[in-house]
Chains A and B, each alone.
Chain A
């Protein structure tokens, strides 16, 4: 039952990164590449129509995590206190940027909120990557100092950084060179994903140019991926064990690499959906591979004294998990139904829609 909920929550969070991920990416592209007012407006709108629906996936994922794995929820939210509050600020400024830009027809007003949307999106992508880096690297569970736990074994508290910026130090911070590399990978991946969304969803004048941008970013991503695979082994030496013991898990890295390779053909293939599907594979494969390499651990311990958090030592009771299953499945069927309805009415290119304003 723990495994089932683990898979459900992983799926919900992966969908969040795929859906809100294109919003973050759209923000990044908007910040650097949208020049004319018409492009800016339509690109902002392609994100603005959907951000709150996309964000619900995060809220729902958080809620399900709280219900199924309360100890894990309590541990990571308090342990990553400051970075999470920063993420909250960024989420707020991202939303303000999208919601406020068209409220007044004034250039300065629009510039302020465009920047707010773009910069927050960029930093959100970075922070979510950094978060993944932290989960892979592990934390000092129990806050060990001189061989003694300062808190109960499943609590920790991470500063934003320590002066060495090294993931290998005894008390690493949130930001170190490893988590920054993962953060940059997230930024590049989501920028590609956002560019694909703009191509899919709008007729903006930069669509052609974006295919070139995607191609070049993809080369960068390939380089970064290779680097990260090398340093990954240094930071988390056990990360290949699962793939060796259970070879079917190799499916997940294959998903990632098929997306990565597929994107090199973006200029040849005319269909707008193609690129978006490829970057979706990229995100899906990236997240699932990372999780699969850790399983059943969900937060590794960097010390010998306190054991890592797993789906088994943080879950609630069997009864709670199985009750949740009943309404959970019902709820997910409803959500799929909403998505189909939304697609029916809000599908297609943004600039060709007639909202009846």
Chain B
């Protein structure tokens, strides 16, 4: 039984982590593509249109990867989490089915038109199709977050005698207080990733002294989008999310912040330290007193419940992993703001394009927004453990009762191998597209 839960969780974690590499770029990048296309219509400068078409190629590769790694996610609800699906399908089935109907049809219909239809449709319609692809991808994000928000903070449900969760109030799924901050935080985070990708391709061209006109355009666009989104990720969206966790999942809040003991005179904010779960303390701790109380409640001496206030079974099951996920996300977010602020400052001083150390930094920072996005999701998911539906349905109660651990390990190993191949192909294709540059014409 323990094995079954472990492999089911590991398979889901692995496949969703790999999957989420792709949608986070497509969601943010579609916004930047629409911006380039709109700029072209406004100025009629060909450079912007080429930029839009160039990023469309990268978008298309990501989109394909997102689709083919996304279908296993839908399948796994049934294959590995059958009991969860059976018990909650009447609720989360609503939002997931809506994603298929309202988002995937929209995206897939208009993506083909956006890629192939520029000449057939004319420029204005082409912009419109781009916008519809953007709309579809963000609708997908919204409906996934609506699903996840219900699992984090269940609303609008009723539990029947046979243990099934059924829908009582449909609109409650969308007025869930968890949803809006989580959605905005997630979407802005996807813009951070995309900004870094756009800026780093720009930096690459400038450092290579090739495609300079585009290098400058990409870098400039990337850092401006990057600064705005990096700021929004912290405030107000990150702030609102943290307050939600403090309010609705106080045990998870204590664990992710690393507060072992409740301090009566206000909680400190931990910057660095390693949780020691035996001694119940942080090693090598660096912390600033009272800041956490202020950030959470705008009162310096407000008491925040530490982990000592909760029973063991109320606390998240893997506290160190939760703590690290959260701190990695926050730490990286802070670095992004600093880097992007410096870049925009240098842009304003007209020194950005020649300041090589920063160009190299932006180039090599490209994996980190991905890591921040994924650790952000880990924070949400590990914080919810040991529950699937917070406070109501344990993770161990959600797995398929009929699928043995041997079968799951077999398919997990298969996914690892297959996804290594997919990752390799993805890098080859994106690398080729970037290397060829925006002005490359297909034979």
> A residues within 8 Å of B by Cβ?
49-50, 52-53, 55-56, 58-60, 62-64, 66-71, 73-79, 81-82, 84-85, 88-89, 91-92, 95-96, 99-100, 103-105, 143, 150-152, 154-157, 316-317, 319-320, 323-324, 327-328, 331-332, 334-335, 338-339, 341-342, 345-346, 353-357
Contacts and interface: CB of A to CB of B under 8 A. Distances in A.
A355 B119 CA distance: 6
Contacts of B72: 88
A155 B82 contact: yes
17 contacts: A49-B112, A52-B63, A56-B100, A62-B75, A63-B101, A67-B94, A70-B86, A73-B93, A77-B77, A77-B78, A84-B78, A85-B411, A320-B90, A334-B102, A338-B109, A339-B109, A346-B112
B425 interface: yes
Interface in B309-343: none
Given A74-B82, A155-B402, 14 more contacts: A58-B71, A62-B100, A66-B85, A67-B90, A73-B89, A78-B402, A81-B411, A92-B422, A95-B67, A151-B402, A328-B101, A334-B105, A345-B121, A355-B117
Nearest to A354: B119
B116 interface: yes
B97 A95 contact: no
Given A55-B67, A60-B105, A320 B82 contact: no
A99 B426 CA distance: 11
Given A74-B82, A95-B67, A103-B429, A341 B113 contact: yes
A345 B402 CA distance: 48
Contacts of B98: 63, 327, 331
B442 interface: yes
Interface stretch (B166-174, B248-256, B365-373): B166-174
Contacts, number: 226
Contacts of A63: 74, 93, 96-101
A124 to B, nearest CB: 13
Interface string B59-82: 001011001101110110111101
B304 interface: no
B65 to A, nearest CB: 9
A70 B402 contact: no
B96 A92 contact: no
B11 to A, nearest CB: 10
Contact of A323 (B94, B102, B403, B418): B94
The 9 closest A-B pairs by CB, nearest first: A77-B78, A70-B89, A67-B93, A356-B119, A316-B90, A331-B101, A63-B97, A60-B100, A78-B82
Interface residues of B, number: 67
Contact of A84 (B79, B402, B404): B79
A106 B105 CA distance: 33
Nearest to A92: B68
Contacts of A85: 75, 79, 411, 414
A287 B199 CA distance: 51
Contacts of B79: 77-78, 81, 84-85
A320 B112 contact: no
B93 A52 contact: no
Contacts of B83: 74
A99 B400 CA distance: 34
A339 B64 CA distance: 20
Contacts of B403: 78, 81, 157
